[in-house]
Amino acid sequence: MSRVHRIAWHELLGKALTDALIGLPYSVSTEEELALRSQRLDVLIIEQAAAVSSNRRGTQVAAEDLPCPDGLEDLAAHNLLSFKAAGAPYDAWALEELNSHYVTYRKLASIRALQQRPADDERPVSEPNKAYPLLPAVDFRSYAIATHFPRKLIKQLPPGSCQRSEQPGIYTLRAGTREVRLIVINDLRALPHNAPWRLFSSNKAQQRAALHQYHPRSEIGLHLSNLLAHHLLGDGNMAHTFEDMQREAHEWLKESIRKLDPDEVLQCYGPEERLKGLDPEERLKGLDPEDVFSRFDPATIEAWLKKHRRDH
């Protein structure tokens, strides 16, 4: 595939995971810079403040009620993902690279925490001259994402280094002193909550099935679905820019809101937001005058009456 037509797999996977984790307290970035000399992590998922999402009917959904793709049910505070798309085998070198990214990123995250800098602060980070505390290792988890089972990698590891889990396609790898979660996309259960993974299967039939099952939770998900339908299956109309995506998503949201009960929509806004743009007559329409006056101090009402009589 030429450079011009090369598909940005890491960006697409990042969009899929961003959409899949809507409502959970995590942010997702791609091609994360890990060193002064460019070393980029494929996908990074970082825990954020607690979040609540809304489903398509506008009903509030707690984060724990949103099904996560297999393998992501127990995310740590910092999650490092290394992804090999179809045709790129996941071997021992890729696993060693992931472990080196963990070491570098743990230092970066620890310095940011020490300096109380947010994760999205893009200013250069310089390592302190003195020793500094590292964030606990338990706060970090590494994921190896492969489209098919990496037989070559397993042969390169010591016997017993790969342990199968109860869920198909999910394994635990022992790599040095750390455990790495291996997710084999082609072997995952063909369930709707796994569609964000299976969109990246090396099997075209699985991709088509995943696109059929995929239900976007956000503007990013709508854009992703459009992109993959265009790139992978030759279907759909690709949203060429982020502005196109926002416009299409806005139109979709307006159409969806029209189908909701007005009372449900109003419950999403506070009193000030509901009254914004209304003139005084519209605000007071339908209210009992006695009830309105009872809200004011008698002295305020008397002062207004005096002014009103004087002006007239």
Q: Residues 270-279: pLDDT tens digits?
A: 777 777 777 7
Has residue 96 got a pLDDT over 50? yes
Q: Are residues 187 and 291 in the same domain?
A: no
Q: What is the DSSP letter of 129?
A: S
Q: Tens digit of pLDDT for each residue in 220-267? A: 888 888 888 777 666 555 444 556 656 666 676 677 677 777 777 777
* Residue 229: half-sphere exposure toward Cβ, Cα within 13 Å: 16
> Is 103 inside a domain boundary?
yes
Extract the tokens encoding 267: 């419950």
Q: Are residues 183 and 299 in the same domain?
A: no
- Specify the pLDDT at position 290: 77
Q: Are residues 20 and 101 in the same domain?
A: yes
- Specify the pLDDT at position 80: 98
- Specify the pLDDT at position 1: 44
- Specify the pLDDT at position 252: 65
Q: Are residues 202 and 285 in the same domain?
A: no
Q: Are residues 21 and 132 in the same domain?
A: yes
Among 10-19, 142-151, 226-235, name the one with the lowest average pLDDT: 226-235
Whether the Cβ atoms of residue 224 and residue 236 lie closer than 8 Å to each other = no
Q: What is the DSSP letter of 217?
A: -
Q: Are residues 290 and 180 in the same domain?
A: no
Has residue 63 got a pLDDT over 70? no
Q: What is the DSSP letter of 153?
A: H
Residue 97: count of CB within 10 angstroms of its CB = 15
Question: Which of 163, 179, 208 is where one domain is finished?
Answer: 208
C-alpha 230/C-alpha 85 separation (Å) is 17
Name the residue among 289, 42, 233, 291 with its Cα closest to residue 145. 42
> Is 116 inside a domain boundary?
yes
Q: Are residues 58 and 197 in the same domain?
A: yes
Burial of 225 (0-12, 13-18, 19+ CB in 10 A): buried
C-alpha 239/C-alpha 224 separation (Å) is 9
**Phi-psi category of residue 234: left, alpha or beta, with phi > 0 → left and psi -120 to 50 → alpha:** left
Q: Are residues 151 and 299 in the same domain?
A: no
> Is 124 inside a domain boundary?
yes
C-alpha 71/C-alpha 268 separation (Å) is 33
Helices (H) and strands (E) in the chain, counts: 12, 9
pTM check: above 0.75: no
> Is 96 inside a domain boundary?
yes
Question: Which of 176, 208, 240 is where one domain is finished?
Answer: 208
- How many structural domains is the chain composed of? 2
First to last CA, the chain: 82
Question: Which of 208, 228, 257 is where one domain is finished?
Answer: 208
> Is 230 inside a domain boundary?
no
> Is 83 inside a domain boundary?
yes
Q: Are residues 137 and 27 in the same domain?
A: yes
Q: Are residues 190 and 287 in the same domain?
A: no
> Is 235 inside a domain boundary?
no
Q: Are residues 60 and 194 in the same domain?
A: yes
> Is 293 inside a domain boundary?
yes
Q: What is the DSSP letter of 274?
A: H
By residue range, what is the domain housing residue 123?
A: 9-208
